[in-house]
Chain A
Amino acid sequence: MNAPAKIETTLKDWETDQEVRWCPGCGDYAILKAVQRTLPQLGADPANTVFISGIGCSSRFPYYIESYGFHTIHGRAPAFATGAKLANPDLDVWLVTGDGDGLSIGGNHLMHVLRRNVNMQIMLFNNEIYGLTKGQASPTSREGTKSPSTPIGSYDHPARPAAFALGSGARFIGRGFDVSKNLPDVLKAAHAHKGAAFIEIFQNCIVYNKDVFNDFAAPKGAEDRQLWLEEGKPMLFANDTKGIALNRETLSLEVVDVTDGDWEAAGVIVHDVTNRSVAHMLIEMPFGPFPMALGVLYDDPRPTFEDAVIAERKKASEGKEANLAKLLGKGQTWTVSGTAQDPV
């Protein structure tokens, strides 16, 4: 948990008087509402909550949440958030970034905030496009994406945000999408995780990349295409008629049919959020032959960066007096008469 004291608030308490400037119908509205709905459930204190963002459509987010907010520069939000957390580890920090901000210009900072494990929630809104600059292909755009900068179709291989996060050393990986009713649960789990919690949120850019996630996010047939993971529960989907099993010969995942609810007989595996190997396979699971893995894919905390910094400072200061006058006169000194003195 981040905030020490629980505060009673309602969704309304988290709304600002600012006019929301996203395009009508943008998936960001749904994410904003999901966050505003989640914060009261967490007992979060607006005075202790800070939303820090970079640049892009997603990064306007802090203006619309009635808490402290810092809209910084392109790609660098993790660095600002790291400084703020080290200055005041009690702050409950939410980072808001996008696929361009977090994985292109800011990929370096995202990697380091994850490997350092600074305690915060990192929401990456992935819409697979640069929205605010009018629709260029982004690092997560699928091959062949036609855009003003790639008129014949993009040809670079897309980055995979959750795989990047896991490879960077993240200890929490969550996934959801803008209009999903389960998004608040993923956010709550991320908040409960002490350390850097990475949440990839698929977000529909209705102007430049409309419905690009419909293949798994469209309500019709969603049960066949979405695998919502739950700790300690078998990995079932399609109304429990299908599941995910481990092929022990190829050491890879496969989809198996489940008859009469007997998932054990079908070899369906049980989700263990601390299993890093399985988390890796779930993240890499290609959509199409497999459903999209959603929910909490991985959650295995380890000590945070700010705790280590505080412990080191305490250790380094032990038995030492912060006396500036003594510090200035430290080392080998002399008086005008030229006599050497012992170090003070």
Chain B
Amino acid sequence: MATAASLPQDGLPASPEAIVVRFAGDSGDGMQLTGGQFTLSTALAGNDLATFPDFPAEIRAPQGTLFGVSAFQINFGSREINTAGDAPDVLVAMNPAALKVNLAALKPGGLIIADTGAFTKRNLDKAHYEANPLEDGSLAKFDVLAFDISEKTIEAVKPFGLGNKDALRSKNMWTLGLALWMFDRPREPIHDWLKQKFKSKPEIADANIAALDAGHAYGETAELAGPLKQVHVDPVPSAPGLYRTVTGAEAVSLGLVAGAQLAELPMFFGGYPITPASAILHHLARLKEFGVTTFQAEDEIAAICAAIGASYAGQLGVTSSSGPGIALKTEAIGLGIMTELPLVIVNSQRGGPSTGLPTKTEQSDLYQAVYGRNGDAPMPVIAARSPSDAFEVAIEACRIAVEYMTPVMLLTDGYIANAAEPWKVPNPADYEPFPAQFLTEPRSEQLLPYKRNEKGARPWIKPGTPGMMHRIGGIEKHELTGNIDYSPDNHQRMTDLRKSKVDNIVVPDQEVCLGETSGKLAVVGWGSTFGPIHRAVDNCRAKGMDVSHIHVRHIWPMPKNMGELLKSFDHVLVPEMNTGQFKTVLRDQFLVDAQPLTKTSGQPFQIAELEAEIGKFFDDIPGNEGGQVPANDQQLPSTEGGAK
């Protein structure tokens, strides 16, 4: 064991309110798996948590390279956790590249756990290190624990007769064992999981368990030696009930299944593989007993067209993709709007344009969702704010689609899709059903497939219904019969009717989720920026700033009270992971002077950067002259204000 120079700070507190750990290694090192299992054990320990998996687009990027680094960050605590954390307290670096890529994020005085076995000349070269950072004193401002995890793993799994290459694959379990010890977590759930995962290869299960146990035992021994100590994070007080962890992709899938059940419809899901949306197809493919048909189409276009075809035939059509795939589906979305059939389109946004950043997150498809079609083609758009919220939003998307006979776009993003959080398991009986109504007999002497109800929705008539034969299509149609009708007056009326149907969709009034309903500053967000904005606003309010957080779920149409609400604040700040798209929509709809705060680095907002921007509106607050908020301030539990 080696430790770096004397510690500049006191290291980790013995029982912090919250702590951020980042596991980083080669994309083949199993960091996502390690992080996932650590998340489970953290959830079982009753902490609130948020995670941020950050991995390369390549499946097996060349070993040891900087671009092949895969990381998994988790923030967990004894208070409500809103984000995956700005800066890690602990960085586990499985090789030099992982250290190099992630070091900048580490908090000063943070703990580095490094595998010296991977800090070979070859790996140091690949990471462009001229000298070994573990030895040259460059990490002096951190607390460093460096030892040969590779060797210790090989030693631990020796009894199972694995070759070195196979033995080294258990390195991540050794590391996980150490982390479990460090945060005082039981090993049993991981043992059970390993036994289940390697059911058909018990020797592999045993080797991994041995590695895990060895890492755990190493922690105990190392503690005796000094620098490594156990950290206790108390459980968070939460409402009574049953909990589990859930990722956004799982929650969307479950929400769609629930939505179809509430609509009393079988679900048809048309999909085409694309990162980061494929996980939804994978989840739903395993839920066939719920009346779900999944169809992996030949392309994105066929995926949505098949979904529309299924809706036409009386099922709930759903399709899912990410930006480039949504672009391909756009013409079909227009047909869905023209023929007024229910359809849910899930967009797991990623960095763009074009192929962009397949595995990184962004919110830059908002224009595409709201405005991005040929013709006047209004479509409801709603956005999920977190993994668990994606369940609620998916149900809401199904409701709007079925009740208003319209395509609906549900926006999530790469962060929500992959991130996990604890979820209080909902009771399906608590949701109001919205059973689909099919028209089976003409309402008048003449069949009128486009005669609308009080919601502006046309009737849903399934082919196969006797005596109700009619034709629909993408050509402008007569406002009642649906027959082809290009006449000027009719097109004007139909354009107006399609617009007013969507404009008048009933959505709940906009609430202020933190702070007053009027005042100096409203920070308005949508989607996955909820967490950092909420925490930043909370922190600023604790410092005496008159700031409120408004989080918008219904992007289109927006709640009826939105304009009035925004106008009751002196300033409106809109943080977004794009170049200011929602800001434009707010200005367009309400003529408010919404100010953008934008970020397009592929990484979520940090709480500190939001606090700094909010602070600029409050020069009069003592200690905030010039709006300077110290970076990483909110990460230090001792200075954290306003925690719930």
Which residue numbers of A lie inside 8 Å of B, CB to CB?
Answer: 16, 18, 46-48, 50, 52, 62-63, 66-74, 76, 78-88, 90-91, 108-109, 111-112, 309, 312-313, 316-317, 320-322, 324-325, 327-338, 340-341
CB-CB nearest in chain A for B266: A87
Which residue numbers of B lie inside 8 Å of A, CB to CB?
Answer: 40, 43-46, 189, 235, 237-245, 254, 257-258, 261, 266, 268, 270, 286-291, 293, 295, 297-299, 301-303, 305-315, 317, 331-332, 334-335, 339, 425-429, 462-475, 483-484
Residues of B within 8 A of A16 (CB): 471
Q: Are B302 and A76 in contact (CB under 8 A)?
A: yes
A to B contact number (C-beta, < 8 Å): 207
Nearest CB in chain B: distance from A131 CB, A: 16
Residues of A within 8 A of B473 (CB): 62-63, 69-72
Whether A83 contacts B289 in the complex (CB less than 8 A), given A76-B301, A328-B425, A336-B46, comes out as: no
Residues of A within 8 A of B474 (CB): 71-73
A328 to B256, CA, bound (A): 12
Q: Are A338 and B464 in contact (CB under 8 A)?
A: no
Q: Are A68 and B244 in contact (CB under 8 A)?
A: no
Q: A87 touches which one: B44, B189, B245, B310 (CB < 8 A)?
A: B310
Nearest CB in chain A: distance from B567 CB, A: 40
Q: Are B44 and A334 in contact (CB under 8 A)?
A: yes
Q: Are A328 and B43 in contact (CB under 8 A)?
A: no
Nearest CB in chain A: distance from B193 CB, A: 8
A82 to B308, CA, bound (A): 10
Whether A73 contacts B240 in the complex (CB less than 8 A), given A83-B270, A87-B314, A90-B464, comes out as: no
A94 to B607, CA, bound (A): 58
CB-CB nearest in chain A for B484: A63
Known: A82-B302, A87-B293, A87-B315. 7 other contacts (CB 8 A): A47-B463, A63-B483, A72-B474, A83-B311, A309-B293, A325-B429, A334-B242
Residues of A within 8 A of B475 (CB): 71
Q: Are B289 and A322 in contact (CB under 8 A)?
A: yes
Whether A86 contacts B293 in the complex (CB less than 8 A), given A324-B258, A340-B189, comes out as: yes
Q: Are B335 and A73 in contact (CB under 8 A)?
A: yes
Q: Are A84 and B295 in contact (CB under 8 A)?
A: no
A334 to B473, CA, bound (A): 51
Nearest CB in chain A: distance from B515 CB, A: 28
Q: A91 touches which one: B291, B307, B464 (CB < 8 A)?
A: B464
CB-CB nearest in chain B for A339: B44
CB-CB nearest in chain A for B474: A73
Q: A336 touches which one: B45, B239, B288 (CB < 8 A)?
A: B239
Residues of A within 8 A of B257 (CB): 324, 327
A69 to B44, CA, bound (A): 55
Q: Are B240 and A47 in contact (CB under 8 A)?
A: no
Residues of A within 8 A of B314 (CB): 87-88
Please list 16 pairs of residues, one from A and one from B, whose beta carbons are closer than 8 Å in the complex, sorted by A's number.
A16-B471, A47-B465, A47-B468, A48-B463, A52-B309, A63-B483, A69-B471, A72-B474, A79-B301, A80-B312, A83-B311, A84-B313, A112-B297, A328-B258, A330-B244, A335-B240
Which of B45, B189, B254, B473 has the largest count of A CB atoms less than 10 A from its CB?
Answer: B473
Q: Are A334 and B46 in contact (CB under 8 A)?
A: yes
A316 to B288, CA, bound (A): 6
Q: Are A47 and B464 in contact (CB under 8 A)?
A: yes
Q: Are B463 and A84 in contact (CB under 8 A)?
A: yes
Whether A313 contacts B307 in the complex (CB less than 8 A), given A18-B484, A71-B474, A334-B43, comes out as: no
